[in-house]
């Protein structure tokens, strides 16, 4: 791969801070209450969900241009779950794509599947974690 951009961030665990190299991100990190924490901070699953949703929506814009479709009213929500997986933990994602009425049916399904094939986050997770696509 020929890198066009490299992002860097430093973190010191789930009960610490995450800071990007450019200072745009500087967040307190905390375990969510569901995992025994106080929830007084962001957690890695939220950060991953935000990044994946944004990337998927941007990928959909690129794919839709090729398909000559208007996706300005599309909304993407990534739900990232963490749970026990063998000896450790694993992730799963439900990608909820809200499409306008004119994109329902076969064309919407084709758009979402083509986006999933194109999106860098989807490529990175393929074969590693379960990603369920839900069209709403």
- C-alpha–C-alpha distance, residues 52 and 128, integer Å: 15
For 105-120, the pLDDT digits (tens) are 999 999 999 999 999 9
DSSP labels, 29-51: B---GGGTS---SB-HHHHHHHH
Q: What is the pTM of this model?
A: 0.93
Is residue 12 within 8 A of residue 30, CB to CB? The reply is no
pLDDT at residue 104 is higher than 90: no
Ranges of beta strands (E only) in 14-129 are 17-20, 26-28, 75-85, 88-98
- The pLDDT mean for the chain works out to 95
For 16-34, the pLDDT digits (tens) are 999 999 999 999 999 999 9
């Amino acid at each position: 791969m020929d890198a066009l951009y490299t992002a860097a961030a430093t973190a010191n665990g789930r009960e610490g801070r995450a800071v990007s190299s450019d200072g745009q991100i500087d967040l307190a990190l905390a375990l969510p209450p569901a995992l025994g924490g106080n929830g007084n901070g962001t957690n890695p699953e939220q950060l991953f969900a935000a990044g994946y949703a944004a990337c998927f929506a941007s990928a959909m814009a690129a794919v839709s241009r090729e398909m000559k479709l208007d996706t300005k009213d599309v909304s993407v929500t990534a739900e990232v779950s963490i749970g026990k997986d063998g000896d450790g933990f694993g992730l799963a994602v439900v990608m909820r794509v809200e499409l306008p009425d004119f994109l329902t049916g076969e064309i919407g399904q084709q758009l979402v599947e083509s986006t999933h094939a194109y999106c860098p986050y989807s490529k990175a997770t393929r074969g590693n974690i379960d990603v369920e696509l839900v069209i709403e």
